[in-house]
Structure 1
Amino acid sequence: MAGLEVAKLLAELLRNPGMRAQPAGTAGQARQPALRLDRSKDRSGWFPCQRGRGVNLERADSGGPVLAAVSLLIHNPGRSRLDVDVGAPSMGTDDVISHVSLPRFWADRTPVHEAARRGEILQLQQLIESGACVNAVTYDSITPLHEASLRGQTQCVKLLLAAGAQVDARNIDGSTPLCDACASGSIECVKVLLSHGAKVNPPLYTASPLHEACMNGSSECVQLLIDVGANLEAHDCHFGTPLHVACAREHLDCAKLLLKAGANVNAAKLHETALHHAAKVKNVDLVEMLIEFGGNIYARDNRGKKPSDYTWSSSPTAKCFEYYEKTPLSLSQLCRVTVRKAAGQRALEKIAKLNIPPRLIQYLSYN
């Protein structure tokens, strides 16, 4: 099936999660799935879809198994194929698709989810020993590992991973357990997940683990993610870069860690920089730090406004911007900003290797 047809079919399924089936064969004829979704190696991210022969799919306004099946396949790379069952061949045109054939995998919230969420270690161990599925997902594709990670249940995370839980499973929003662990601020959970191969830079179009750590304000998690290679410029369509998030939430420590590691101080989200965020939250310390790291006080957002335009006249932040407009950075400061800009990401690592006096290394490192 051509890529455009695939796109149209998936779009139709997402708009109309309930589907009606009208078998066209005889009552004794072997039936085929109304819809089969096979994982594709095509880099476009779409999946080949085949309508079952002798089956006519029509729109309906009830149920949602097809939508959940599509979401499950997209967010769980371990699944290779999902079959949608249309029921018995004798069903009429008013019968809707009853279920998706995902035995012991696709389910509502399970006892394993509850035990993981509550940190009930013994209960979880008993469930695992009795054969409960540790990769069961809810309708929004949340696994028990997501639950344990979001609530910082480190021992439950260890049990689930030891039992074969998928470390990079995606929920319906695309978040992985590492994203949830960072959102909880649990440094121990983050360490356990990373030790089991969790991707620090999962291919997401939403908030990355580093974004989540900055939202939470966990400087420990931020530093750990930086140390293991987190992308400092990961871009979220809603939040921008991790630096945007740290400044919008006024997490000064997190912002400083990002800047010292080489984050682009003038990275823009719809032309809006971190300095615009600092001005909006009226945080003088944040404004001063961003400017010292080379923040452009004259940058204009998509509304044509400078950061200072978001301050009240005579307020501390307004006076701060007024000072830097009248007093540009010194030559030594400008040199430092230029050198660090050339160093880019991992600036601290690169600067530490320069064959220059230790005092200069400290100055370039903002120590």
Structure 2
Amino acid sequence: METGAAPFTAPAALRGPVIGDIGNWLDRTPVHDASRQGQILQLTQLIESGVCVNIVTVDSITPLHEACLHGHIQCVKLLLAAGAQVDARNIDGSTPLCDASAAGSLECMKMLLDYGAKVNPPLFTASPLHEACMSGNPECVKLLIDVGANLEAHDCHFGTPLHVACAREHLECAKVLLVAGANVNAAKLHETALHHAAKVKNKDLIEMLVEFGGNVYSRDNRGKRPSDYSWPNSPTAKCFEYYESKFFQRLLEVCHSSADFDSEKHLAKE
């Protein structure tokens, strides 16, 4: 090993005038690569040499996005301590907390939250809770709910987090949401979580949603009930037949009770 070697110096294009400023719009840089690959020593050297930790790529991805997406907690810690913007958004509107949630990394999520990461994004964009439901990690879902995540956050593509959990067949995530009070009949283009459960032919999901008040007669924008998406004589079709007949029977009982009550009022008047 040579002695007296010149210290590592970052290229001028990677250095920002003030830590925390957004850098130039470039392709992936060494600091992005180090963050993505979890190279702690390399990242430390880059930061010490004056690299702007908020330098972005053409799609607005920061090194912090990279570190969170791959669950590299030590890199996340280094970047945040150096002034990385905790709520930076990429071209898709995702924040580092969204990426950590997608990766299912509780450690990274907790670190970001400690640095003030916002759990609820602007309206109609995917939230960290949506991402946690997509990845299917119920512990991540619980954490986000505990810190105030909006159960009814609505993404224009995915609907609510419950829609996502059901479309991806993540039963435990759906259960956590429902127990926390998520609206079981929330609709996206009139499509409910029960429609999603029917489309993926998941009998367990269907049963759980109905137990939490899912409306088996709700119709989507095509005028179809959840049962219309099940195959004839399939387990899900039989499940819907049972719940629909049960619902109809309950409706008849309510109607009869109401009619009896009206008759009693009429007789009392006479």
Give the TM-score taking structure 2 as reference length: 0.83
Alpha-carbon separation, structure 2, partners of 1:314 and 1:252? 23
Alpha-carbon separation, structure 2, partners of 1:122 and 1:220? 31
- 1:260 aligned partner: 179
Alpha-carbon separation, structure 2, partners of 1:328 and 1:172? 46
Of 160, 181, 187, which residue of structure 2 is paired with 1:241? 160
Q: CA deviation at 1:152?
A: 0.6
Q: Does 1:210 align with 2:129?
A: yes
Identity, % of aligned positions: 80
- 1:117 aligned partner: 36
How many residues align? The count is 231
Of 203, 218, 223, which residue of structure 2 is paired with 1:299? 218
Residues 161-202 of structure 1 show CA distances to partners (whole Å, capped at 9, x for unaligned) of 000000000101111000011011111111111111000002
Q: Where in structure 2 are the equivalents of 1:197-346 lying within 5 Å? A: 197-328=116-247
**Over 3 Å off, 4+ runs:** 328-331
Contact 1:180 1:212 survives alignment (8 Å):
yes
Letter in 1 for 2:54: N
Contact 1:128 1:163 survives alignment (8 Å):
yes
Alpha-carbon separation, structure 1, partners of 2:165 and 2:54? 33
Alpha-carbon separation, structure 1, partners of 2:244 and 2:121? 40
Letter in 1 for 2:203: V
Alpha-carbon separation, structure 2, partners of 1:329 and 1:220? 38
Letter in 2 for 1:233: E
Letter in 2 for 1:239: F
Contact 2:102 2:132 survives alignment (8 Å):
yes
- 1:67 aligned partner: none
Contact 1:105 1:135 survives alignment (8 Å):
no
Contact 2:165 2:173 survives alignment (8 Å):
yes
Contact 1:174 1:204 survives alignment (8 Å):
no
Q: Does 1:148 align with 2:71?
A: no
Contact 2:153 2:160 survives alignment (8 Å):
yes
Letter in 2 for 1:288: E
Secondary structure of the structure 2 residue equivalent to 1:131: coil
Q: CA deviation at 1:275?
A: 0.1
Alpha-carbon separation, structure 2, partners of 1:164 and 1:276? 45
The 3 A distance-change label for structure 1 pair 124 and 323 is: same
Alpha-carbon separation, structure 2, partners of 1:316 and 1:125? 56
Contact 2:31 2:63 survives alignment (8 Å):
yes
Contact 1:150 1:184 survives alignment (8 Å):
yes
Alpha-carbon separation, structure 1, partners of 2:132 and 2:182? 15
Q: Does 1:172 align with 2:91?
A: yes
Letter in 2 for 1:319: K
Higher strand share: 1
Residues 48-106 of structure 1 show CA distances to partners (whole Å, capped at 9, x for unaligned) of xxxxxxxxxxxxxxxxxxxxxxxxxxxxxx87xxxxxxxxxxxxxxxxxxxxxx8x533
Higher helix share: 2
The 3 A distance-change label for structure 1 pair 231 and 142 is: same
Contact 1:232 1:258 survives alignment (8 Å):
yes
Structure 1, unpaired ranges of 5+: 1-77, 80-101, 332-367
Structure 2, unpaired ranges of 5+: 1-19, 251-270
